[in-house]
Structure 1
Amino acid sequence: MVLLCGIPLLFMEFAIGQYTRLGPVHALAKICPLLKGVGLATVVISFVFSTYYNVLMSWALYYLFNSFGGTLPWKSCNNTWNVVGNCSSGFPGNATHLKSASQQFFDHRLLEKTNGIEEAGGIRWELFGYLIIAWVIVYLCIFKGVKSTGKVVYFTAVFPYFILFALLINNLQLPGAKNGILFFVTPVWSKLFEVKVWVKASAQVFNSIGIAFGSMISMASYNKFNNNILRDALIVSVTNSFTSILAGFVIFSAIGYMAHIHNLPVDNIATDGPGLVFVVYPEVLSTMPISQLWAPLFFLMLLCLGLDSQFATVDVAVAFLKDEFGAKILPFLKREELLTLAVCVFCFALGIPHITKLMDHYTAVVSLVLLAFFEVIAVCWIFGVRRLSLMIKKMQGKTPNIYFRVCWMLLSPLLVLCILISSLVQYTPVHYGKYTYPVWAELLGWCVSLVSIVWIPLGAVHEICSNKGSFLQRLQTAMTPTIDLDAEDPLPEKQNVDTQASETLFTSGV
């Protein structure tokens, strides 16, 4: 996925942003007026992503502050939130009536989880406070724009590597770590024939690299016209893959250790989603020597990684409002910092009632794959690989090699299309553990997807209706790019921007 979609599509987005010097909305509108809604859809999906992603950051903050006590609170069953007779200090294995202490901390202390989505429950005031703190941190890091954000990223992007290497060195000395690593690196070939594996793999690549969020186009728009975007695309992709593999070794070496001390198979402990970082790994940390040191470092690392993603997605929404409505909004707000504050407050308010599993599936999986498909169609097939290659040649001095041209023209679009069709044909309801969401919740999830995707057909209809002539003439005009491909440097550079800071933002793996 990284070779066939990740690197080529990231290279493509960098080229669009750097050549046009525009955000995703106006850049993609110039590339393909017919699918100008794709640009707006990237802004909407980034906005929706921001509203619920910071909820996860509030969880990380909650665990971080609870790590500073004498004993980690998820280590034992002697707490007020534990269910008597249903709690195990370790992993319960085949005892299905038991839950681990860390699972009960997550369910009954952190979330105060109800029996289902039908029972809304009350506001968790502690999490409400941590959500405020999370948004305050985001605001303080981005309110001065890309220049200040880039400087913060120097820490948030580098610090996690120190923690990951420290954890890896520590974990490799634990008994059973080898079995966990072997489980991680041993391929299960039968999984290659499961559609959901490819769907999740594509969503993971797009999520981790930042494809189809609009953030890469936005960040690249601050570059110098002749900046080496191929180098940047390779650095981001390789760094991202290396980080994922490193994190995998850290996680599974610890899971192997946990399986060893509880005499369980590794696959009985391994899980995915939030349960891995908020249930399994806290349980692992609680059994390690000097766990009071490792636990806060681990959750501080999670916070830094999450903030990197938030910086990029929130910046897309702020930049869009500034570019599109700045003339009307800024005289009222007086200062640009207040616009950023307004966006953060609005996202905070929308994040209060989020059902994270449902939102994550329909925003970060369904919508993202759909949006990536339409973006590839707009740029690679309608705008055309020839024009895209010409843009890159004007910036880099040479045409992209055959590998990228074949990926853009054939492999990337067809792969995304196959994944999209297969995921729709073999659709299965979303579930949280053993709980399956009701039909009305599924419909709510699809509505969340439509919030971003609906702008694509609306934009196409608006563009066709705005043109003159017969339907075919209008359609032809809508498919004709308005970008100037003859000028050596079509637009002036954006002013007052620290280019090195913007490069740091997207090479940090956001």
Structure 2
Amino acid sequence: MSESAATSKPRLRESFSGRTAFILVAIGSAVGLGNIWRFPYITYENGGGAFLIPYLIALLTAGLPILFFDYAVGHKFRGSPPLAFKRMHRSAELVGWFQVGICFLIAIYYAAIVAWAAMYTWFSLTQAWGDDAEGFFFAEFLQYDGGGTEGSGISVDFVAQVGWPLIAVWILILIALATGVRKGLTAVSMWGLPLLFLMFAILVGYSLTLDGAITGLNELFTPDWGALTSATVWIQAYGQIFFSVSVGFGIMITYASYLKRKSNATGSGLVVGFANSSFELLAAIGVFSALGFLAVAANTAVDEVATSGLGLAFVAFPTIISQAPASALLGVLFFGSLTIAGITSLISILEVVVSSVKDKTGWSRPVSVAVAGGSAAILSVVLIGGVSGVTILDVVDAFSNNVGIVLGAFSAVLLATWVYRKLDVLAAALNAYGSFKVGPIWKGLIGVVLPVVLGVLLVMDIRDKITNGYGDFDTWVVATFGWGSLALVVVAAIGLSLMPWRSNSAMHMESPDHEQVEREKI
């Protein structure tokens, strides 16, 4: 380290205005599309009301502990994932860049879903999908060509009604990121999150008045106690908790780095964790009330209409909206909620990438946003804004979420616990100002339970993809956009971790403790 760098006055890191701002932003990140379209179906498929028992146990033994872990890493070492892990140990930067790469992949396709939801908010006013919601979504709106299946190629031909809204979403997100932590990230969540909860509460209340709502809720919550003996149900519970609280891919590490030094990280974590799970339960009630209405209207069983993901959002719900009274209101509430939830989550995903580039290079925030965010935006419009966008979205999502996020989290907890031996340091950081104290139980959960759970999830998913491929997609498509995208992330992570930290980077200019500390040589 140069003498000038070593003796320069530390530059303070951006920070949230207070604990309330942090909690709102963290909840905004955690509450996303998966809460609305994944949790209800997972609950229904895995024992109904009985599933809430393993779900709650998973929250207490995995969700909250790893949330605290991410908070401790970010808050203690004051940086985005690469910087925080570098400060934890000189060889750990690679883990941070891998998590950044996964965020980059997710942002590319996540923005497209936000754009679709925004368009469907508008479509709800006229029920533009007509009598064939599925045909409208795939054929007319997306102009999906079935690329990557049955020998068909991949095309990136631009689809105007998809591409232009996607560009608009990217412009909005990049402007918000460029304005900073307080004016951008915080402002979006301070306005967006209350609006989201208000809209969704009205949506749930409305859904409960529909004919057949009780039928849907009975199907959802009637417990199948025998499911508790199934290992698959417990794995699903841990998987749902893990994916729903935005841990394992750098978001909470980055956000915690913006907390002021004397902050109650564990108390905030409890609020975020339980608020996220409460919203999931609220979403399940609203979704299955509506599905019960659809089943009764179609004179069929709920299991015939129950689905998740894109099918629930853009096929099942438009069908429900067309048949429900006050259909325009229902549509605006549902798709408006999806849009807001998606925006708050997307901003958090991109902030990991922007913050990491800013920390490493010493560039200003606007320049970091232009380079990192602009690159993601261009790839997103080119790849997902074309006629084969759904194929690329589906494959990249399956590998970045189910393999990438889990691998990043598994590596982080395993290295911190068994290689770098940093759990005592992290526990002390949490306990310094935290209202909820962590101790041996937390260390055991992080060091033993989480590596086992994450390892099982990782091995099962990789084995399944190697054995059975993925979906109906051709092998070359899965190899290119699935395994290939993960390989590119690994290569990029290695390259970025080998790059030296510039003299004006956060490593040299920001003190992790805002006081004199001993640093490892770079």
Taking the aligned partners of 2:188 and 2:435, their CA distance within structure 1 comes to 33
Q: CA deviation at 1:398?
A: 8.5
What SS does the aligned partner of 2:420 have?
helix
Say whether residues 1:131 and 2:166 are aligned partners.
Answer: yes
Deviation larger for 21-30 or 263-272: 21-30
Q: CA deviation at 1:191?
A: 8.5
Q: Any conservation in 2 of the 1:24–1:217 contact (CA below 8 Å)?
A: yes
Taking the aligned partners of 2:229 and 2:87, their CA distance within structure 1 comes to 38
Say whether residues 1:4 and 2:33 are aligned partners.
Answer: no
Taking the aligned partners of 1:211 and 1:147, their CA distance within structure 2 comes to 22
Taking the aligned partners of 1:289 and 1:340, their CA distance within structure 2 comes to 44
Instruction: Give the aligned residue type for 1:143.
Output: A
Q: CA deviation at 1:311?
A: 1.0
Alignment partner of 2:513 out of 470, 490, 498: 490
Say whether residues 1:74 and 2:132 are aligned partners.
Answer: no
Partner of 2:106: 49
Say whether residues 1:36 and 2:70 are aligned partners.
Answer: no
Q: CA deviation at 1:343?
A: 3.1
Taking the aligned partners of 1:147 and 1:123, their CA distance within structure 2 comes to 36
Over alpha carbons, which structure has the higher Rg? 1
Say whether residues 1:184 and 2:215 are aligned partners.
Answer: no
Where does structure 1 lack aligned partners over 5 or more consecutive residues? 77-100, 331-335, 464-482, 494-510
Partner of 2:401: 364
What SS does the aligned partner of 2:259 have?
coil
Taking the aligned partners of 2:69 and 2:141, their CA distance within structure 1 comes to 41
Partner of 2:267: 231
Partner of 1:499: none
Q: Any conservation in 1 of the 2:101–2:493 contact (CA below 8 Å)?
A: no
Alignment partner of 1:343 out of 372, 377, 382: 372
Taking the aligned partners of 1:34 and 1:115, their CA distance within structure 2 comes to 44
Q: CA deviation at 1:61?
A: 1.9
Alignment partner of 1:24 out of 81, 97, 101: 81
Taking the aligned partners of 2:191 and 2:397, their CA distance within structure 1 comes to 27
Distance 1:145 1:198, change over 3 A: farther
Taking the aligned partners of 1:382 and 1:29, their CA distance within structure 2 comes to 14
Instruction: Give the aligned residue type for 2:125.
Output: F
Q: Any conservation in 2 of the 1:11–1:229 contact (CA below 8 Å)?
A: yes
Deviation larger for 29-38 or 306-315: 29-38
Taking the aligned partners of 2:374 and 2:407, their CA distance within structure 1 comes to 29
Q: CA deviation at 1:259?
A: 0.3
Say whether residues 1:379 and 2:403 are aligned partners.
Answer: no
Partner of 1:82: none
Taking the aligned partners of 2:441 and 2:173, their CA distance within structure 1 comes to 39
Q: Any conservation in 2 of the 1:258–1:284 contact (CA below 8 Å)?
A: yes
Q: Any conservation in 2 of the 1:11–1:230 contact (CA below 8 Å)?
A: yes
What SS does the aligned partner of 1:285 have?
helix
Q: CA deviation at 1:458?
A: 7.4
Say whether residues 1:111 and 2:167 are aligned partners.
Answer: no
Say whether residues 1:424 and 2:457 are aligned partners.
Answer: no
Partner of 2:195: 159
Taking the aligned partners of 2:305 and 2:436, their CA distance within structure 1 comes to 51
Instruction: Give the aligned residue type for 2:168.
Output: I
Taking the aligned partners of 2:104 and 2:228, their CA distance within structure 1 comes to 33
Alignment partner of 2:115 out of 39, 58, 65: 58
Taking the aligned partners of 1:2 and 1:62, their CA distance within structure 2 comes to 34
Instruction: Give the aligned residue type for 1:120.
Output: I
CA shift digits 1:71-127 (9 cap, x unpaired): x12232xxxxxxxxxxxxxxxxxxxxxxxx111111111211223322435321111
Distance 1:394 1:162, change over 3 A: closer
Q: Any conservation in 1 of the 2:266–2:430 contact (CA below 8 Å)?
A: no
Partner of 2:154: 120
Distance 1:452 1:156, change over 3 A: same
1:270-285 paired onto structure 2 within 5 Å: 270-285=306-321
Where does structure 2 lack aligned partners over 5 or more consecutive residues? 1-57, 385-391, 500-506, 517-522
Partner of 1:14: 71
What SS does the aligned partner of 2:445 have?
helix
Q: Any conservation in 2 of the 1:202–1:369 contact (CA below 8 Å)?
A: no
What SS does the aligned partner of 1:68 have?
coil
Instruction: Give the aligned residue type for 1:251.
Output: V
Partner of 1:83: none
Q: CA deviation at 1:405?
A: 2.2
CA shift digits 1:40-80 (9 cap, x unpaired): 111111111111110111111221222233xx12232xxxx
Distance 1:458 1:131, change over 3 A: closer
Q: Any conservation in 1 of the 2:212–2:293 contact (CA below 8 Å)?
A: yes
Q: Any conservation in 2 of the 1:367–1:453 contact (CA below 8 Å)?
A: no
Taking the aligned partners of 2:440 and 2:204, their CA distance within structure 1 comes to 39
Partner of 1:450: 487
Deviation larger for 118-127 or 304-313: 118-127
Taking the aligned partners of 1:283 and 1:252, their CA distance within structure 2 comes to 14
CA shift digits 1:267-324 (9 cap, x unpaired): 1101121111111111111111111222122211111000111111111111111111
Alignment partner of 1:322 out of 358, 366, 374: 358
Q: Any conservation in 1 of the 2:413–2:451 contact (CA below 8 Å)?
A: yes
1:192-207 paired onto structure 2 within 5 Å: 193=230, 195=232, 201-207=237-243
Distance 1:492 1:105, change over 3 A: farther
What SS does the aligned partner of 2:91 have?
helix
Taking the aligned partners of 2:63 and 2:494, their CA distance within structure 1 comes to 26
Taking the aligned partners of 1:397 and 1:164, their CA distance within structure 2 comes to 31
Alignment size in residue pairs: 432
Taking the aligned partners of 1:167 and 1:394, their CA distance within structure 2 comes to 42
Instruction: Give the aligned residue type for 2:426.
Output: L
Q: Any conservation in 2 of the 1:203–1:369 contact (CA below 8 Å)?
A: no
Q: Any conservation in 1 of the 2:77–2:512 contact (CA below 8 Å)?
A: no
**Percent identical across equivalent pairs?**
25
Distance 1:192 1:240, change over 3 A: farther
Partner of 1:169: 205
Alignment partner of 1:214 out of 247, 250, 266: 250
Partner of 2:54: none
Taking the aligned partners of 1:36 and 1:489, their CA distance within structure 2 comes to 16
Q: CA deviation at 1:430?
A: 5.5
Partner of 2:277: 241
Instruction: Give the aligned residue type for 1:66.
Output: F
Distance 1:399 1:194, change over 3 A: closer
Taking the aligned partners of 1:343 and 1:457, their CA distance within structure 2 comes to 17
